[in-house]
Structure 1
Amino acid sequence: MNTEKVVYLNSDEELDEFSKKETHILYFSSENCNVCHSVFPKLVELTSEYDVEIGRIDVNKNVKIAGQHLIFSIPTILIFNEGKEVVRESRFVDFEKISRTLQLILT
């Protein structure tokens, strides 16, 4: 798994800097979430063909950030384009929807 496009975000400042990118993905998860561990490699693989970075946020360590983004279940994937949330996928992730969205906004 190629994780060079993954940035671990642990503070509001890091999130603010990361969020300046025109298109980016936030991945909310937890170390003790088995579903999160199975979804993450698929997300990394799916995004490998696009010029987009994934900001990974542990909800247990960053409760405030999770609350600000209204994260109620994990894993949750948010795709942002031009500063606006364009896709939200939680728990049972539709990777086809994520792929179509990235293709539309990045090609």
Structure 2
Amino acid sequence: MYLPQKSTTRNLVFPELRGTNLDDQIEVRKREKTITRNFNRRLVRIAKYLGIVKKLTMNIARLSFGNVSGDKISVQLLQQLYRHCSITTTMMYLSNFINTQTDEALNNVVDFLN
């Protein structure tokens, strides 16, 4: 059972931003950079602990989200989620990931050969 939470005018998805003046974009950007740097340091330790040799960063997580969701979420919504000013930028990100048809075709050839 979930306990009722006190509702505030500014519920945050990321509690790390609590205490930050969200109306001051410069302060928010600085705080985001600090938070990202700390998360990245923790991801390096987690990867080492788990024996993962590939680099893990928040940006990799963001790109992985695009990879997983690229053919499931509209480009316009992804643009908003990524906070890109231009849809062209979002399309450049997605062009690296939208390989579903290509992957299926190659899998069919490999399956046929086996």
Larger radius of gyration: 2
Q: TM-score, normalized by length of structure 1? A: 0.21
Higher relative helix content: 2
Q: What TM-score, normalized by structure 2, do the two folds share?
A: 0.20
Greater RCO (CA < 8 Å, at least 6 residues apart): 1
